[in-house]
Structure 1
Amino acid sequence: MARPASSAPGTPATVALAAAGIAFTAHTYAHDPATTNYGLEAAAALELDADRVFKTLLAEADGRLVVGIVPVTGMLDLKALAAAVGAKRAVMADPAVAERKTGYVVGGISPIGQKTALPTMLDETAALWPTIYVSGGRRGFDIELAPDDLLHVTGGRFADIAR
């Protein structure tokens, strides 16, 4: 896997990966502003199996923000996410709070290089793939990397959090 070409967008995610010495490949595509399902748009534009493309979601678990990364074909199981982070209950975070805490816009929230380091859980199905795709920090930009590398750079861990 290569590092990003000079034409790849410089985002906090690519800066964090480069600083950590983690190999990744940058993939850009034309984002349609009318699209609201950003992950499925990425899978179609990059001609990928949608189960290999993961979305980054923020939730509030017992009053603290946490990150759940699940395939774009599924949904985040909030009860499972709460259990994975040792909380009793989790609800989806307010989008404005998610943007403020991560430094990214909804539809382009990367799990990497967020303004505030948050507990991060990656759905265990990511381990089925040699590489997965996550947002690179803006709409129309995904990063391909090994699941273990994603966990290393985010300080995250695998958990069964998708349904």
Structure 2
Amino acid sequence: MVTQLMAKKQTGKQAGKGSGGTPATVALTRAGIDYTLHPYEHDPRAESYGLEAAEALGVEPKRVFKTLMASVDGKLAVGIVPVTGQLDLKALARALGGTKAHMAEVAAAERATGYVAGGISPVGQKRSHPTVLDESATAYETVYVSGGRRGLDLELAPADLVEITDATTAPIAR
């Protein structure tokens, strides 16, 4: 089922505190980082939230990135990869100087980020975690990530995503 894109886009400072923004939009606004909000109607039956977003927004799926939580040597970490790929856990561990990695439990990811699965944003998480953005993001002028809830994506420059999350870039997708 194709979801419909809501007509209104919001940019940067329009989505700050007091306008019902998410922690992600509040953090970006406070940091003075330009971004565009892309709300769309989320279908709870969607099998892939990221591919649903790409289709709803009419964007090449390789530009839409998912935020995944993993445990690297016993500590939570964030991997941001295209929705068309998978997180390579060994590559994530290497990028963070670790040796062992496994996917975090959904409940642990939700507690650590303050977001619900399917709406976990790399921006504005409750606690800061080591973060790695797949290097493929640097091929695009802008990329899309969750805005902090299902049915809301943020579009921003990869360099700004790296800045706001204190991320490194590495080949972590397969």
TM-score for the superposition, normalised by structure 1: 0.96
Secondary structure of 2:109's partner? Answer: helix
Cα deviation for residue 71 of structure 1 reads 0.2
* Cross-structure match for 2:173: 162
* Cross-structure match for 1:30: 41
What does residue range 17-96 of structure 1 map to in structure 2 within 5 Å?
17-96=28-107
Query: How many angstroms apart in 2 are the aligned matches of 1:88 and 1:101?
Result: 22
Query: How many angstroms apart in 1 are the aligned matches of 2:20 and 2:120?
Result: 14
| Shift >3 Å, 4+ stretches | none
Cα deviation for residue 91 of structure 1 reads 0.2
* Identity across matched positions, percent: 60
Asked if residue 145 in structure 1 is aligned to residue 156 in structure 2, the reply is yes
Cα deviation for residue 36 of structure 1 reads 3.1
Query: How many angstroms apart in 2 are the aligned matches of 1:34 and 1:72?
Result: 17
Asked if residue 113 in structure 1 is aligned to residue 124 in structure 2, the reply is yes
Cα deviation for residue 35 of structure 1 reads 1.4
Unmatched runs of 5 consecutive residues or more in structure 2 = 1-9
The structure showing larger relative contact order (alpha-carbon pairs under 8 Å, at least 6 residues apart) is 1
Cα deviation for residue 34 of structure 1 reads 1.1
**Distance verdict in 2 for CA 1:11–1:111, change over 3 Å:** same
Query: How many angstroms apart in 2 are the aligned matches of 1:42 and 1:4?
Result: 23
Amino acid at match of 1:147: P
Asked if residue 101 in structure 1 is aligned to residue 112 in structure 2, the reply is yes
Query: How many angstroms apart in 2 are the aligned matches of 1:36 and 1:105?
Result: 16
TM-score for the superposition, normalised by structure 2: 0.90
Unmatched runs of 5 consecutive residues or more in structure 1 = none
Query: How many angstroms apart in 2 are the aligned matches of 1:35 and 1:99?
Result: 20
8 Å Cα contact 2:93/2:101 also seen in 1: yes
Query: How many angstroms apart in 1 are the aligned matches of 2:94 and 2:123?
Result: 23
Query: How many angstroms apart in 1 are the aligned matches of 2:102 and 2:152?
Result: 27
The alignment yields a C-alpha RMSD, in angstroms, of 1.6
**Distance verdict in 2 for CA 1:134–1:9, change over 3 Å:** farther
Query: How many angstroms apart in 2 are the aligned matches of 1:9 and 1:36?
Result: 28
Cα deviation for residue 4 of structure 1 reads 5.7
Query: How many angstroms apart in 1 are the aligned matches of 2:118 and 2:162?
Result: 21
